[in-house]
Amino acid sequence: MGSILLDGVNVRVAVDGRPQPKTLLDGISLNLTEQRVGVIGANGSGKSTLLRLLNGLVAPSHGTVTVDGDDTVHAVRAVRRTVGFVFTDPLSQLVMPTGREDVELSLRRSIRQPRERQEAAAAILNRFGLMPLADQSIYELSGGERQLMALAAVLAVEPAVLVLDEPSTLLDLRNRELLRRTLAGLSQQIVMSTHDLELVRDMDRVLVVESGRVVFDGGADAAVDHYRALSAAGLPPVDTAAPRVSASVAPHKAEPA
Amino acid sequence: MSGHDFLLVNYVPGTSPVHRAPLWLKFLVVVGCGMASFLVVDWAVAAAALVLMCALFLSSGAGVRRLFKAVRPILPVLLAVGLFQWWQLGGPVAARIVLNILVCVVAASILTATTPMQRLLDGVVSLAVPFRRFGADPERFALTIAIMLRSIPFIAGAYSDVRDSARARGLERNPRALVLPVFITTVAYARQTGDALAARGLGEPGTDDDDGQASS
């Protein structure tokens, strides 16, 4: 299993109208060696930024990120050969009209001969049971089928590490289960952010991110408990004494005759 | 998202003579139709060319429905152009201009309906190879064209979605309620596509042996 090392990483971005840059991640030091690593946290907590560091899509403002010894800033091409990235919305990831063509696009750099490329793409599509959908327009596929197609296109180049940014957010229960089973069968090291706490239970190690910091790092069950407690603590109080139906939407009463 | 079958026809697998025709010949037909639109001055010749292109399209097995779908989105534009030209220059000139545009659209649809995208990209790469000496990267060139073809239906779909939501709010007559969201959606889509390509290492300059720099 490979090693992903984050050493004293800060990510800051300039924001219009603010004198100081906004801190997205602060003081992150991690060594990720487990096969399945989950990242959970509230919206805007820094999960996506953390994941984007691993593929070089975001560069740290301070500190270093290395994947199997390759620095994500200075050896970004090598890092991207090692780290595949799956986005939340497969429609923005699939750039070809059909799944088959998108898988072939992934293979263009590594396989120059068209016939070999077609055979390799067919093998990948068969492996994921996607062959019957290979020539359909990506717009005609369901959300789950699209996400699996995007996953197949990324796995076509056999990355050692697979990073997934909330891959189940747009999926229904059936497609989420399909994705879960597919991920369970992969040999790659997986780093995945998600709001699906069932999916997190499959992880060997889970990080809880809050306000740009890793506030918990440990086993899945303990991490979920910590996240639940954190979320509950942040909820505003609910006024239980308030009327359930306001006067403006109260049922209309007929006037007496 | 709706409205995604805009203008160009997706590849339809088949073994027709048009499918089997060499790519250079199909390219030549498209370029020829484009050039002919400037040279042909008789509407009857343009009409004959349109009949020929439609016959070629249908002989590929792509079907009348796909042919109509390829042409339908530009019909309002053709109507407006045709009426204006008829008013300005008379019926024969208007008919010639409208027919020539249709010939180009159908010819382009024949190319995309009978050629897999990867084959098309390989062809574009071959055409762009001579420009390598001037610093051009043929693979990037082909990728740019592929993304352009992919983006047209997305933007059409975005417009369709925004128009529906504007209608639902009673704002269908407000141009700002239509244009601004489509513009924002398109810019967001462009950024997401850029990220997706970068994440997959596609469209990067140079060889696989050297390394680039990440962007913050």
Residues B99 and B195 in one domain: no
Residues B87 and B178 in one domain: no
Considering the domain boundaries, does residue B121 fall inside one? Answer: no
pLDDT of residue A1: 66
Mean pLDDT of B201-210: 57
Domain total of chain B: 2
Contacts of A98 in chain B (CB under 8 A): 10-11, 117
Residues B79 and B168 in one domain: no
Considering the domain boundaries, does residue B51 fall inside one? Answer: yes
The CA angle A201-A47-A28, to the nearest 5 degrees, is 105
Nearest CA in chain A to B202: A106
pLDDT of residue B11: 80
Considering the domain boundaries, does residue B125 fall inside one? Answer: no
Those residues whose C-beta lies under 8 Å from the C-beta of residue A193, and which sit 6 or more positions away, are A38, A39, A40, A41, A47, A48, A50, A51, A164, A165, A166
Residues B159 and B58 in one domain: no
What is the pTM assigned to this prediction? 0.77
Residues B36 and B85 in one domain: yes
| pLDDT of residue B207 exceeding 50 | no
Q: How confident is the model at residue B176 (pLDDT cuts 50, 70, 90)?
A: confident
pLDDT of residue B208: 44
- Say if A135 is an interface residue toward chain B (CB within 8 Å): yes
What's the start-to-end Cα distance of chain B, in Å? 31
Question: Inter-axis angle of helices B63-71 and B43-59, to 10 degrees?
Answer: 130
Tens digit of each residue's pLDDT (9 = 90 or more) over B48-103: 999 999 999 999 988 898 888 888 888 888 999 999 999 988 888 899 999 999 99
% of residues, chain B, pLDDT over 90: 20
Tens digit of each residue's pLDDT (9 = 90 or more) over B123-137: 888 888 888 888 878
Task: Select the more confidently predicted residue: B2 or A159.
Answer: A159
Considering the domain boundaries, does residue B58 fall inside one? Answer: yes
Residues B136 and B68 in one domain: no
pLDDT of residue A47: 94
Q: Give whole-number Cα distances, A53 to A4, A26, A153, B136, B177, in Å.
A: 11, 13, 21, 30, 36
- Using DSSP, state whether B88 is helix, strand or coil: helix
Domain membership of residue B160 as a residue range: 132-204
Residues B7 and B96 in one domain: yes
Residues B45 and B148 in one domain: no
Lowest mean pLDDT across B120-124, B193-197, B202-206: B202-206
Q: Do A101 and B117 touch (CB under 8 A)?
A: yes
DSSP string, A136-192: SBGGGS-HHHHHHHHHHHHHTT--SEEEEESTTTT--HHHHHHHHHHHHT--SEEEE
Residues B111 and B21 in one domain: yes
What is the Cα–Cα distance from B179 to B182, expressed in whole angstroms?
Answer: 5
Considering the domain boundaries, does residue B212 fall inside one? Answer: no
Residues B108 and B12 in one domain: yes
Chain B contact probe: residue of A49, A96, A112, A135 with most B CBs at under 10 A: A96
- Say if B192 is an interface residue toward chain A (CB within 8 Å): yes
pLDDT of residue A243: 56
Residue ranges of chain A with per-residue pLDDT less than 70 = 1-2, 238-257
Nearest to B208 by CA among A80, A38, A246: A80
- Say if A143 is an interface residue toward chain B (CB within 8 Å): no
- Say if A101 is an interface residue toward chain B (CB within 8 Å): yes
